[in-house]
Structure 1
Amino acid sequence: MLNTKGMRFPIDVILVCIRWYAAYPLSYRQLEEMMQERGVFVDHSSINRSAMRFLPLLEKMFRQHKRPVGGSWRMDETYIKVKGAWKYLYRAVDKEGKTVDFLLTA
């Protein structure tokens, strides 16, 4: 589990910041402002240190619970139109046609 000894902020506050940082294109300073709007005064450098400390551990834990992929899967690449703009879509599918992973880029 995550070692939270010596942490100034509760682990749930830190995990919310880390989740937003990993999931959305936000900077540490933007996260600092978002948390201040919610009444939590945390510095962007504290968020950075926590992210560097916990992101590798969280990735390791999440990979353990990830659905195993069979021995055969295919990669598909195509262009699709999203809100009027063309985007490049990479998609990996297994034998049954279930999406294993995808990436949508500009």
Structure 2
Amino acid sequence: MKKSGIELISDERQKQIEKHGFTGEHHANHPEWYDNRQLIQAAETLLMPEIRSCFIPVNWDVEWFERLCKKSYKERLIIAGALIAAEIDRLESLK
């Protein structure tokens, strides 16, 4: 059975947390990587159907993010959705 979009995004967000430790608290505690809309800007880049130039968020690993930019459009949509959820998690952690 195929997963729904929300399930795919949820799985990706969970992977970000479990594999990389990218919790809301992590993001809130590292403004050098995640302030100034960096998660949203990364998501916006990945949402473009065709990426001509890959905007790299400040202080992010260039090679890692460029690999994300080379993924299929569907994979980038899933990652972008998870990045938006990560920004919400970050904001919730700041409360």
Q: TM-score, normalised by structure 1?
A: 0.30
Question: Higher relative contact order at CA 8 Å, sep ≥6: structure 1 or structure 2?
Answer: 2
Greater strand percent: which structure?
A: 1
Question: How high is the TM-score relative to the length of structure 2?
Answer: 0.32
Higher helix share: 2
